[in-house]
Amino acid sequence: MKILILGANGHIGNYLSSYLKAEHEIIPLSKGDLDIREKDSVINIIKSFSPDIVVQAAGISNIDYCEDHETESYSVNTLGTLNVAYACNSLDIPMVYISSGYVYGDSKETPYFETDKCNPINVYGKSKLAGEKLIRTICKKYFIIRTSWCFGGTKCYIKKILDNINSPVFLTSDSIVNPTYIEDLARCISQIIHSDFYGVYNCVNTGYVSKRDVVQFIFEYLRSKKDVYSIPCDFTASLAPRPNFSAMDTKLIYNCFGVIMPTWQDSLTKYLDSIIVFKNYN
């Protein structure tokens, strides 16, 4: 299968390019190769490569940056995605859109289902949801993948923590999330693209936890006696609001594709074992 991946220099796009190339012909395009805000360029480039499927992983994912740059966020995350959706539909090419659990908002205290009403509370979530709605309006063949707090790959928050293992850790959020191993996300995407069960799917590791407890789990696994400190909310007024609870349910992706997502603990342990030498962090 020939797969065109947009946003190939980004965290998820880069990993997908490496993961999928073992079995597919990959066409990785970065922002320097294609600005998705330019409609004609998007159509011409997708048409010229004639891929079997397009993965739209391009966009602005820095939540606080989006909050301070609303126009740019909508221009890239929403209108850019519209251009990709228009091109894919015109050429009858299935599309995979990497979305976020932040589209749901902050209205529940139990995991969100794909059918739950979405009411995002920050610009990032709103711009991603707007992109989703345009895809669902325009396209007949699409997979919208809602994921959350991905770790793994060349750069991620876990590596940042390990790189600063001797420094105090301060977190500005104690919100509940599904930490998601990017390898599990890629494995799931590699499976669903062979089907025509188009739709919206949550794709996260099983189980949910506070961000603070994820970091504490890492230290305990490393046998490092460190504490994680929470910063009071009034110190973070300049940051974008985060939902208190944004965990997602993954029954649908199992029922449709038979994909079993590992627990976040198992996947985080697997990832830690792949990148660390214990003696360096004791």
Average pLDDT, rounded, for the chain: 91
Q: Could you read off the pLDDT of 108-130 as tens digits, one per residue? A: 999 999 999 999 999 999 999 99
**Number of helices and strands in the chain (H, E):** 11, 12
Q: Is the pLDDT of residue 215 over 50?
A: yes
The C-alpha atoms of residue 182 and residue 19 are separated, in whole angstroms, by 10
The C-alpha atoms of residue 142 and residue 122 are separated, in whole angstroms, by 25
Domains located in the chain, CATH noted: 2-151+180-206+250-261 (3.40.50.720)
> What is the number of residues in the chain?
282
Q: Residue 217 is encoded by which pair of tokens? A: 């789990």
Yes or no: say if 4 and 193 are a contact pair by the CB < 8 Å rule: no
Torsion of CA 115, 118, 124, 128, to 10 degrees: 40
Q: Is the pLDDT of residue 232 over 70?
A: no
The C-alpha atoms of residue 243 and residue 239 are separated, in whole angstroms, by 13
The C-alpha atoms of residue 224 and residue 169 are separated, in whole angstroms, by 13
